[in-house]
Structure 1
């Protein structure tokens, strides 16, 4: 049943020069597949990938931030997604923020961008386009940390990771033998991607494929009586403004959500409505399909794993194969 998925994962691993891969599938709240292959690095004598291997999830950490933003909304620390961002970012250029709302910041529809020298400028008016940028992630991370007086990773540890029994999901600041290194250039040795801090501001979140899948299963099960159901719904339902361009992706709180299939969505057209997905530049993908009571977690360790103009094709095709495998 799973051979086509496994073959696809292995084919992409080889084609994109990832040294390791993992695939974990949860169906009806049971792990039905664990597949591990390759090594922690592209250097000799590297440790084989196994169930304890912790991959850098890169931008997939946005799903963790999204949950804490949903908490802030649920608990009234942020009054509404439609609050103007200016009232929360008083030191920011107020004219540049203009009519930008929290909703725009969490759905990639804000229109802000930053040059290499740190100059912030506007690409398009809020709500009138979609662009994947980093500035909104930094802004929302800083805001959450300020609103709660502690880092969002600390909040997650207290409220979610500890109650769930997570022991393999951390913002890493030091290398260790369980961390899978990241391949930047196939012709050069891979390296650890760790950060100086664990406040969520850096791309140093690592997790095992199993706990990545269980993170998705928490959402699939509406919080499992650990997280309020309303918090999960805020994070995983479509929250973006209505776009004139119907080809643009739909988002919850950073999750990509399947509504009406869209050409620029990272979810394939055969994935059922209400499904949602998150991914990172090093290759991790977490796909949740409520209609099939299904979670699929896929891991790689190659930066720019999907490569150039084929990026959307790889991502969409994987989700389509998953949907085909479990179609009733």
Structure 2
């Protein structure tokens, strides 16, 4: 059906007048329906105690008959059950002192993990328990007790508090804990304590037959069957009787509006107090470990891969949740607003992602209501430093051993009796500053050949065409992999029995050491030579994944792996594992892991000495800024500070007005950085010998900084203030995405550009999970 037809259908259903975002909202939802993302939806927006927009769109049902959507349609809320029912019940029990957040799960479920587990209730609620995402359906099982038994006995896939894995099992267990603490079933307790006091008369588990005509059907279990209607869509909940802590609740937009207003009121509605304001704050403020790149409250989502419905304007500190069937709610206490979007996106045969629509709806609503981003005060982060298995250091003082140090302690046993080829440079040193080749030879390893990457063995060459050489201290031949060839040739590998890679990377896609490693792995695989990676830290942490993923067509020596974002958050050992499998290299790969390195560690947490990885990478600060500032470097008339004392910490050009550009960037309020005007005269590279104006970047909070967002802000500022001065097509190998380049050239808002590649970015983040070696503890 054309978009205009959907708009006409939506217009036939009355909605309050005067909402500034009405037309844009209608068009966005009509477009999503025209794309087949859902047959229909109900939207409700509240602001300062009033419903300012309520509207039904499209169809409630397509199969077996078409039924128009109405505003009183009852929806299967799916995972909204976790916050509206289960979390709310836990809030009541928490206020009564029935549990503490740092209590072990085994305190309330003695059967959990055989009674031997340090997983806490907090970790269940923030999805950091280490439990798998759901209960497997194979082999088949049925019944509530069977489901609880499996939830309690399935082993964790990783230690608690290591990384965020959204898990239904967490809330299945929490729903059972509600029942054991209250002495009533979850449906009974939630009706008695939450829904009935709030007047939520159309919210329930296991809806009665009289509701069926108004319930939005979901999916056909099989092609020849009718869609589920009034029966929970979630297969696990269905097998467990239809009412569990993770799914099973049904409700309407109006009832959820009452619930959202209660949360905005600090726990009360129309004179009836359900919770203390302090309890509402506790459950909706960040509770995730401080070194994590996501924010979740207790049950509630704040800022994660799942919080698309926050849009681009609601501030951090607002909160919400989504449901698989197409439901979502977002609540902003700062503007006293909420957005409820209920859709049956899985009807009749599964559906497409609603992430783009949710993000658009949230942004339109916030803009229409005049939302202004502001800083958010937190009250409970210090609690994360105490309790069972919750020890966490924001700035850790580690004693990291690189892969080289680990093998040195083992006297390089795997290499003894073999002719070794060593791919390295000046960064290949142990904790005491000794070269890898020297400590290997001292242990009796026969290092028969050396291979150097870009910048040469000494790391001082900033040019192409580097030739072969001889190591002056050992007389071993050094083959350049940045000269006539970029890959080890069969002649270079002749007679070698293992190839070893030991180079410090900086954690950015276009840093060429990563491609050199990949090319060497390919050569080793062809020569049937084992390949070893002696792992080293990612100096800018292993938690952040940022920037546009690389287009296949733009793959090059400065971008080996299509789909990889600019900042990948992986070590060289982890990259080697991913390259080997995803690119089907077939290398006989061994990664020698580090010891005492955690994903959240910056380089200054390792106690390893800084060695400039390349001539212009002179500090950790430069490395943090590099993923963003370097995006603009291939613009032929821009300097990124090469030939000055602070490469990548400043940039400029002969057409730039430093005061104008820095003022514009500061006005953009880029998180984690500030800007001030400067001028400089490069002694080499771009603008050699020419005095130019530019901007200096000061990092004020590296934890807040999204380096690639910074680069997009700089690029778009240059395009906005000096249109036509930069040919952005020259930057495709660094930026990597033709779509992102097009958007920069069109002077789109950097935040919108960042949102445009969120889905492929999330896909990469999920893909990399199985290759990660290190945790947070």
TM-score (norm 1): 0.86
Structure 2 equivalent of residue 106 of structure 1: 125
2:653 — aligned with what?
none
Q: 1:17 to 1:183 in 2, by over 3 A?
A: farther
- 1:255 corresponds to which of 300, 307, 313: 300
Segment of structure 1 superposing worse, 312-321 or 207-216: 312-321
Question: What is the TM-score when the length of structure 2 is the normalising length?
Answer: 0.38
Looking at structure 2, the residues matched to 213 and 73 of structure 1 have their Cα atoms a distance apart, in angstroms, of 24
**Secondary structure in 2 matching 1:228:** coil
Q: Distance in 1 between matches of 2:205 and 2:196?
A: 15
1:43 corresponding residue in structure 2 = 63
Larger radius of gyration: 2
- Pick one of 188, 203, 221 that aligns with 2:247: 203
Q: CA deviation at 1:185?
A: 8.7
Do the aligned residues in 2 keep the contact of 1:169 with 1:206 (CA within 8 Å)? Answer: yes
Q: Deviations over 1:202-244 (max 9, x none)?
A: 73321111112221111111112421223322332222233x3
8 A contact 2:40–2:58 mirrored in 1: yes
CA–CA separation in structure 2 for the residues paired with 1:187 and 1:162: 38
Q: Quick one: structure 1 residues 177 and 313, their matched pair in 2 at CA, closer, same or farther if it must change by over 3 Å?
A: closer
Q: What is the aligned partner in structure 2 of residue 179 from structure 1?
A: 215
Q: Which residue of 1 aligns with 2:39?
A: 19
What are the Cα deviations for residues 237-261 of structure 1, in whole angstroms up to 9, with x where unaligned?
Answer: 222233x342x3x222211125xxx
Q: How does 1:93-242 map to 2 (within 5 A)?
A: 93-94=113-114, 98-113=117-132, 114-116=135-137, 117=139, 118=150, 120-175=154-209, 176-183=212-219, 190-194=227-231, 197=241, 199-201=243-245, 203-224=247-268, 225-229=272-276, 230-242=278-290
Deviations for 1:30-56, whole angstroms, at most 9, x for unmatched residues?
Answer: 111111022221125443221221011
Give the number of aligned pairs: 317
How far apart in 1 are the matches of 2:357 and 2:229?
Answer: 25
Residue of structure 2 equivalent to 1:287: 330
Moved more, 292-301 or 185-194: 185-194
Given that residues 70 and 231 in structure 1 are in contact (C-alpha distance below 8 angstroms), is that contact kept between their aligned partners in structure 2? yes
Residue 302 (str. 1) matches residue 336 (str. 2) = no
How far apart, in 1, do the equivalents of 2:178 and 2:56 lie?
Answer: 35
| Alpha-carbon contact 2:168-2:246 (below 8 Å) kept | no
Asked whether the equivalents of residues 153 and 198 of structure 1 are also in contact (C-alpha less than 8 Å), the reply is no
Question: Could you tell me whether the CA contact under 8 Å between 1:236 and 1:253 is conserved in 2?
Answer: yes
Post-superposition shift, 1:148? 0.3
SS of equivalent to 1:271: coil
Return 5+ residue gaps in structure 2 as ranges.
1-19, 140-149, 233-237, 372-777
* Offset of residue 19 of structure 1: 2.2
1:306 Cα deviation (Å)?
4.7
Which residue in the other structure is 1:59 paired with?
Answer: 79
Give the Å deviation of 1:141. Answer: 0.3
Task: Compare relative contact order (CA 8 Å, sep 6+) and give the higher one, 1 or 2.
Answer: 1
* Counterparts of 2:68 and 2:247, CA distance in 1: 23
Deviation (angstroms), 1:287: 0.8
Superposed CA RMSD in Å reads 2.6
Per the TM alignment, residue 115 of structure 1 is displaced from its structure 2 partner at its CA by: 3.6
Contact 2:205 2:250 in 1 (8 A): yes
Name stretches of at least 5 consecutive residues in structure 1 with no aligned partner. none
Name the CA shift for 1:296/1:265 in 2 (closer, same or farther; >3 Å): closer
Give CA-to-partner distance per residue, 1:17-38, whole Å, 9 cap, x none: 4222100111111111111022
